[in-house]
Chains A and B, each alone.
Chain A
Amino acid sequence: MLARFINTLLGLWLMTSPALLHDSGAARINDEIVGPLVASFAIIAMAEVTRSIRWLNFILGLWLIVAPWLFHFPRMPRLNSLVVGICISTLALIRGKISTRMGGGWRSLWRSTSILEEAEEAPSVSKDRRHDPTDLLFRSLNKYLNKIMERIHGEEK
C-alpha cells in the first residue's frame, strides 16, 4: 500500500513539476503524459484484484529513465526524470500483501481446467509468495541488510 501511495505522489509530482521547474519542450510533454498515467496505475494497483497493474508502472519508470537521452532533455529535467523513474520502477517491483483469495485470479480465466478443482487446492498466501521472484529478492535483500546492521551494532559495543 505504501509503495502504491508513494508512486501516486510521484505521478502527481510529474504532473506539477513542469510548471514548478519551468520545463518546456519534450521534457514537459513527457512528464504531463506519464504523470497522470503513473498516478492512475498506482491508484488502480492499490486494490488486490488489480495489483498486477503495478507492472505498467514498472515499464513507465523504465521509460522515464531512458526518455531524457532519447529526446535530449536539459540537465534539470533529465535528473528529475531519471531519479523519479528509478523510484517508480523500484517501488513497482514491490508486490505487497495479498490477503484475499479470489478463485485463482485473472489467470484462472485462461486455464482449461475447472476453477472448482483449483479452488480445492488453492495455494496458501505464503506458498504463493515463495514463487514470486521480486518478493524473494526483497526478502534476501532484507536478510543481507539485517546482517550488516548486526555487524555495525556489534562494533559499537
Chain B
Amino acid sequence: MQEKNRPPGWSYNPSSWPQRLPLIGVALIGFAIATYLTLFQIRVIGDVWEPFFGEGSRAVLTSQVARALPIPDASLGAFAYLLDAVAGVIGGTRRWATMPWMVILFGMAVGPLGIVSLFLVIAQPLLIGHWCTLCLLSALISVVMIGPAMDELLATLQYLKRVSLQGRSVWRAFWGGRDRNEAKPLSKAA
C-alpha cells in the first residue's frame, strides 16, 4: 500500500506515517515545553524549572528580548509547534500530491520556527548574558525537526514542478485539484 504511494524516482514515501509520526511526537513535546514557558511568562506559575544555570531561565524569560513583542515569545513558539503537529497529522499517505498546500504549510511552519529558535539561542548569551535550559531544549527540538521534514516538502515541490512542465494549472494542483480532462490523476503518473 505504502509502496504504491511513493513519489516517482523516490526509494521511499516521505508522506508515510513512519516518516511523519516521529515529527508529530517531537512537535507535541515542543508544544508542551513552550506552553510551560508561556505560563511562566504570563505569571500563571511563579517559578520555572532550571537545573543548570541558576537564575538563568528567569533572566532570559523576563528579558527585553522575550518582551520585545506584545505577547510573550514562548506563546509564539507554542503556536508554531501546535501548527507543526496539526499540519503534520492532516492528510493521507499520498498528501505530497493530494494536498500540496498542507505539506508546504508544514514546511513553512517547521523551517522558520527553527530559524527563530536559533536566533534566540544566539541572543541568550549575547544580548541577555544568561542561558535557559528549557529554551535551549525547545530550540534543539525545532532544529532537529527541520531535516526530516524537508523531504516531504521536496516531494511536493517536485510534484508541482512536474505539473507546471506538463502545462497544467499549478494553482489547482496546489489545492489538490485535478484537471477535468485528465485521463488519470497526475499524481499517479509514474
* A residues in contact with B9, CB < 8 Å: 101-104, 115-116, 118-119, 122
- Is the contact region of chain A dominated by helix, strand, or loop, or is it mixed? helix
- Nearest-neighbor residue (CB-CB) of A112 within chain B: B165
* A residues in contact with B8, CB < 8 Å: 103, 115-116, 119
A118–B165 CA distance with the chains assembled, in angstroms: 13
Residues of A whose CB lies within 8 Å of any CB of B are 15, 18, 29, 32-33, 36-37, 40, 43-50, 53, 99-106, 108-109, 112, 114-116, 118-119, 122
- Is the contact region of chain B dominated by helix, strand, or loop, or is it mixed? helix
- Nearest-neighbor residue (CB-CB) of A19 within chain B: B125
Which of A15, A37, A49, A115 lies in contact with B150, CB distance below 8 A?
A49
Residue-wise, chain B 11-28 has the 8 Å CB interface mask toward A (1 for contact) of 110000000000000000
Residues of B whose CB lies within 8 Å of any CB of A are 7-12, 114, 118, 121-122, 125-126, 139-140, 143-144, 146-148, 150-151, 154-155, 157-158, 161-162, 165-166, 189-190
Which of B11, B126, B157 lies in contact with A100, CB distance below 8 A?
B11
Between-chain CB contacts (< 8 Å), 17 pairs:
A29-B126, A40-B118, A43-B144, A43-B147, A49-B147, A50-B146, A50-B147, A99-B11, A102-B154, A103-B7, A103-B9, A104-B158, A108-B158, A115-B162, A116-B162, A116-B190, A118-B9
Is the pair A50, B150 in contact by a Cβ cutoff of 8 Å? yes
